[in-house]
Protein backbone atom coordinates (compact mmCIF):
# COMPACT_ATOMS: atom_id res chain seq x y z
CA UNK A 1 0.00 0.00 0.00
CA UNK A 2 1.28 3.45 -0.95
CA UNK A 3 1.27 5.97 1.88
CA UNK A 4 0.86 9.69 1.33
CA UNK A 5 3.25 11.95 3.15
CA UNK A 6 2.81 15.56 4.10
CA UNK A 7 5.42 18.08 3.10
CA UNK A 8 5.68 21.69 4.09
CA UNK A 9 5.57 24.12 1.19
CA UNK A 10 8.43 26.52 1.55
CA UNK A 11 8.13 30.10 0.43
CA UNK A 12 10.63 31.27 -2.19
CA UNK A 13 13.55 33.25 -0.75
CA UNK A 14 12.62 36.85 0.00
CA UNK A 15 8.87 36.26 0.18
CA UNK A 16 6.40 35.55 2.94
CA UNK A 17 4.68 32.21 3.40
CA UNK A 18 2.47 32.06 0.26
CA UNK A 19 -0.20 29.78 1.70
CA UNK A 20 -0.88 31.54 4.97
CA UNK A 21 -1.57 35.18 4.10
CA UNK A 22 -3.57 34.47 0.94
CA UNK A 23 -6.22 32.37 2.68
CA UNK A 24 -8.06 35.40 4.02
CA UNK A 25 -7.95 37.43 0.78
CA UNK A 26 -10.79 37.64 -1.73
CA UNK A 27 -10.17 36.77 -5.36
CA UNK A 28 -10.28 40.46 -6.28
CA UNK A 29 -7.92 41.34 -3.41
CA UNK A 30 -5.43 38.85 -4.83
CA UNK A 31 -5.71 40.54 -8.24
CA UNK A 32 -5.15 43.94 -6.57
CA UNK A 33 -2.09 42.66 -4.73
CA UNK A 34 -0.53 41.11 -7.81
CA UNK A 35 -1.27 44.26 -9.82
CA UNK A 36 0.70 46.26 -7.24
CA UNK A 37 3.57 43.79 -6.89
CA UNK A 38 3.97 42.63 -10.51
CA UNK A 39 1.81 44.84 -12.73
CA UNK A 40 3.30 43.77 -16.07
CA UNK A 41 3.23 40.03 -15.41
CA UNK A 42 0.64 38.01 -17.30
CA UNK A 43 -2.63 37.61 -15.41
CA UNK A 44 -4.27 35.44 -18.05
CA UNK A 45 -3.84 34.39 -21.65
CA UNK A 46 -6.72 33.42 -23.91
CA UNK A 47 -5.72 30.33 -25.87
CA UNK A 48 -8.30 31.00 -28.60
CA UNK A 49 -7.25 34.57 -29.41
CA UNK A 50 -3.73 34.44 -27.95
CA UNK A 51 -4.49 37.69 -26.11
CA UNK A 52 -2.58 38.20 -22.88
CA UNK A 53 -3.75 40.51 -20.14
CA UNK A 54 -1.40 41.80 -17.44
CA UNK A 55 -2.41 42.13 -13.79
CA UNK A 56 -2.42 45.93 -14.13
CA UNK A 57 -4.62 45.83 -17.23
CA UNK A 58 -7.01 43.34 -15.62
CA UNK A 59 -7.35 45.56 -12.54
CA UNK A 60 -7.96 48.64 -14.69
CA UNK A 61 -10.70 46.94 -16.72
CA UNK A 62 -12.34 45.48 -13.59
CA UNK A 63 -12.36 48.90 -11.94
CA UNK A 64 -13.97 50.45 -15.03
CA UNK A 65 -16.68 47.78 -15.13
CA UNK A 66 -17.30 48.19 -11.38
CA UNK A 67 -17.59 51.98 -11.88
CA UNK A 68 -20.07 51.32 -14.72
CA UNK A 69 -22.13 49.23 -12.30
CA UNK A 70 -22.08 52.00 -9.71
CA UNK A 71 -23.07 54.64 -12.26
CA UNK A 72 -26.13 52.55 -13.13
CA UNK A 73 -27.22 52.23 -9.52
CA UNK A 74 -26.23 48.59 -9.12
CA UNK A 75 -25.71 47.98 -5.41
CA UNK A 76 -24.11 45.26 -3.29
CA UNK A 77 -25.99 41.96 -3.62
CA UNK A 78 -27.90 43.12 -6.71
CA UNK A 79 -27.98 40.39 -9.35
CA UNK A 80 -26.32 40.76 -12.73
CA UNK A 81 -27.28 38.15 -15.32
CA UNK A 82 -24.49 37.29 -17.73
CA UNK A 83 -25.09 35.31 -20.91
CA UNK A 84 -21.87 34.45 -22.61
CA UNK A 85 -19.31 31.86 -23.43
CA UNK A 86 -15.90 31.48 -21.88
CA UNK A 87 -13.81 34.55 -22.64
CA UNK A 88 -11.52 37.11 -21.08
CA UNK A 89 -14.44 39.52 -20.94
CA UNK A 90 -16.56 37.02 -19.05
CA UNK A 91 -13.84 36.59 -16.43
CA UNK A 92 -13.32 40.35 -16.09
CA UNK A 93 -17.05 40.97 -15.65
CA UNK A 94 -17.11 38.26 -12.98
CA UNK A 95 -14.18 39.83 -11.12
CA UNK A 96 -15.69 43.32 -11.46
CA UNK A 97 -18.99 42.07 -10.00
CA UNK A 98 -17.03 40.63 -7.05
CA UNK A 99 -15.24 43.95 -6.60
CA UNK A 100 -18.52 45.87 -6.72
CA UNK A 101 -20.25 43.43 -4.37
CA UNK A 102 -22.89 42.37 -6.88
CA UNK A 103 -23.94 38.78 -7.46
CA UNK A 104 -23.18 37.43 -10.90
CA UNK A 105 -25.74 34.96 -12.25
CA UNK A 106 -24.07 33.06 -15.08
CA UNK A 107 -26.52 31.81 -17.70
CA UNK A 108 -25.34 29.47 -20.44
CA UNK A 109 -26.60 31.02 -23.71
CA UNK A 110 -26.85 27.58 -25.34
CA UNK A 111 -29.25 26.36 -22.68
CA UNK A 112 -31.76 29.19 -22.70
CA UNK A 113 -33.84 29.52 -25.88
CA UNK A 114 -37.46 29.73 -24.81
CA UNK A 115 -36.36 29.23 -21.19
CA UNK A 116 -34.71 32.66 -20.97
CA UNK A 117 -37.86 34.42 -19.72
CA UNK A 118 -38.51 31.97 -16.88
CA UNK A 119 -34.81 31.98 -15.94
CA UNK A 120 -34.74 35.79 -15.75
CA UNK A 121 -38.02 35.78 -13.80
CA UNK A 122 -36.47 33.39 -11.26
CA UNK A 123 -33.16 35.25 -11.01
CA UNK A 124 -34.69 38.76 -11.24
CA UNK A 125 -31.47 40.57 -12.24
CA UNK A 126 -31.18 44.34 -12.25
CA UNK A 127 -29.33 44.11 -15.57
CA UNK A 128 -28.69 41.48 -18.23
CA UNK A 129 -25.30 41.52 -19.94
CA UNK A 130 -24.69 39.42 -23.04
CA UNK A 131 -22.34 38.99 -25.91
CA UNK A 132 -23.60 39.68 -29.41
CA UNK A 133 -23.43 35.97 -30.25
CA UNK A 134 -26.15 35.26 -27.66
CA UNK A 135 -28.70 36.48 -30.22
CA UNK A 136 -30.47 39.03 -28.00
CA UNK A 137 -31.44 42.33 -29.56
CA UNK A 138 -30.47 44.53 -26.59
CA UNK A 139 -29.44 44.32 -22.97
CA UNK A 140 -32.53 44.32 -20.80
CA UNK A 141 -32.93 46.22 -17.57
CA UNK A 142 -35.37 44.62 -15.17
CA UNK A 143 -37.36 46.52 -12.54
Q: What is the mean pLDDT of the chain?
A: 80
Cα torsion for 67, 126, 105, 137, to the nearest 10°? -100
- What DSSP designation does 114 have? G
pLDDT digit string (tens) for 102-140?
999 998 877 777 888 888 999 999 999 987 655 554 444
Q: What percent of the chain has pLDDT over 90?
A: 49
pLDDT digit string (tens) for 15-39?
455 545 566 678 888 999 999 999 9
User: Using CA atoms, how far apart are residues 125 and 84, in angstroms rounded to an integer?
Assistant: 15
79, 103 contact by CB (below 8 A) = yes
Confidence of residue 8 (pLDDT cuts 50, 70, 90): very low
Residue 83, C-beta contacts closer than 8 angstroms, at least 6 positions apart: 107, 108, 109, 112, 128, 129, 130, 131, 134, 136
Amino acid sequence: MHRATERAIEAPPGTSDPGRDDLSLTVYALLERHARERPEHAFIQCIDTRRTLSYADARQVCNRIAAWCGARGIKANDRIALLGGNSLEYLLIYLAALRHGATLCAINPEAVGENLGPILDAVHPCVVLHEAAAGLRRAASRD
